[in-house]
Amino acid sequence: MKKENTNHTDEKLGALLRESRVSPALPPRFQENVWRRIEDAEAPAKSGSGIAWLEALVALMLRPRFACATVAALMVCGILLGAHSGAQIARHDAEARYVASVSPDSVR
């Protein structure tokens, strides 16, 4: 009997509390402001996307394995191209030396 009375009182109290809860009016242009704040929060991420790929590239470049491979590739390419050019120079010099030996400038 006593328990029933207590439950009843709790329900009444709960209803009273729900009614007494004040729901304040939203400030003017609340929705617009919310969207603006969301856009502002996303904006730096968009403008920073150019730096993001550069950061990723730099991070890749600074990886020891990638850096070593790149240096090795650059050296090999440089030496091969240089050797090709050196061979051309040597060939040209040898030709000039032979021509000078058989045909001095005074004759030409």
Partner 1 sequence: MNRPLVIFLGVLVLGAAIFTGSYFAGERACANMMGGKDDLSWLQTEFHLSDTEMARVRQLHEGYLPQCMKMCAKIAAKKDEIAAALANGTNVTAEVQMKLTELGELRAQCQAQMLQHFVDVSRAMPPEEGRRYLAEMERITIGFDGDEQTMSPSAHGNN
List residues binding partner 1 (CB under 8 A). Answer: 51, 54-55, 57-58, 61-62, 70-71, 74-87, 89-91, 93-95, 97-99, 101-104, 106-108
Which distant-in-sequence residues (6+ apart) come within 8 Å of 33 by Cβ?
27
Q: Do 70 and 79 contact (CB within 8 A), yes or no?
A: no
Closest by CA to 19, choosing from 8, 7, 11, 29, is 11
C-alpha distance across the termini of the chain, in Å = 136
Pick 15 or 61: Cβ nearer partner 1: 61
Pick 9 or 98: Cβ nearer partner 1: 98
Sign of CA dihedral 90, 91, 93, 97: positive
CB of 34 to partner 1, least distance (A): 32
Q: Do 66 and 60 contact (CB within 8 A), yes or no?
A: yes
CB of 64 to partner 1, least distance (A): 13
Pick 15 or 56: Cβ nearer partner 1: 56
CB of 43 to partner 1, least distance (A): 18
Pick 45 or 62: Cβ nearer partner 1: 62
